[in-house]
Amino acid sequence: MTTQTSHLPFDLSAAMNHLTAKDQKLAELIANTLPFQMDADPLQSPYEALLEAITYQSISGKAAATIYGRIKALSATGRAPTPQEMLKLRKPVLRKAGLSGAKVLAMKDLAQKTFDGVVPTLEQAEKLSDEELVERLVSVRGIGAWTVEMFLIFRLGRPDDLPIHDLGVKKGWSVAYGKKHMPKPKELLAFGERWRPFRTVASWYMWRAFERAGYAATNKIRPAKVRKRRKQTATRSKTRRGNTS
């Protein structure tokens, strides 16, 4: 993978200086791992990026790449099927390519909403705020906040997105900061305030921390702690009632 710093819509040097000054642990991670890089296809439209993202949902990268290759083979262009082509493709053909029924429906809805103008062109997307894009794109069947966050980060190169529900980011944070538990989303969001306005870059390094640690280490990281206040309160109440009777 080649470094794509010249195509970033933000100043990477400014981002690095800010993050290393604000966070010593992150500064150490930056110094000891790969330089930040993005590798986006400059010709890929939002529709194509989201079509690919749907393919990759909930399956291994290798399997998804194979299936996406089959989907592209159904197009006359050699790229992903256009919205018009996708709407015409029969469901059994897409299922034969390896898609689940839910993903077929999601891709059909994506194509229709692209055709209707709900899914913006790349030029339109670059002018919309993160909030506006989330509102539009989550209206597409099968596309949630995580998928939109990946689109904002990897296709648009937005500098300040923090995917607080992403498993790799959460476990990478636990590795980088020596925690035995993953953070709660709210905890990670609060912690990430120090990274503004370059939370995307910090997130990228959390993924690198996760990768460097390896699955043997990251599988030992436990889920976020959940406080059981209500249960404890109920138990105390029962105890008190028992003591007074």
Which of 66, 83, 65 has its CA nearest to residue 75? 83
CB atoms closer than 10 angstroms to residue 138: 13
CB atoms closer than 10 angstroms to residue 52: 20
* 158 CA to centre of own chain: 12
| Inter-residue contact 54 to 107 (CB < 8 Å) | yes
Which of 25, 99, 29 has its CA nearest to residue 59? 99
- Tokens for 233, please give them: 């309160």
Q: Give CA separation, 243 vs 12, 37, 237, 238, 239, in Å.
A: 64, 64, 10, 9, 6
Active site includes 161?
no
Three-state DSSP class for residue 87: helix
- Tokens for 183, please give them: 């953070």
Annotated catalytic residue: which of 23, 160, 161, 166?
166
Q: Which residues are catalytic?
A: 166
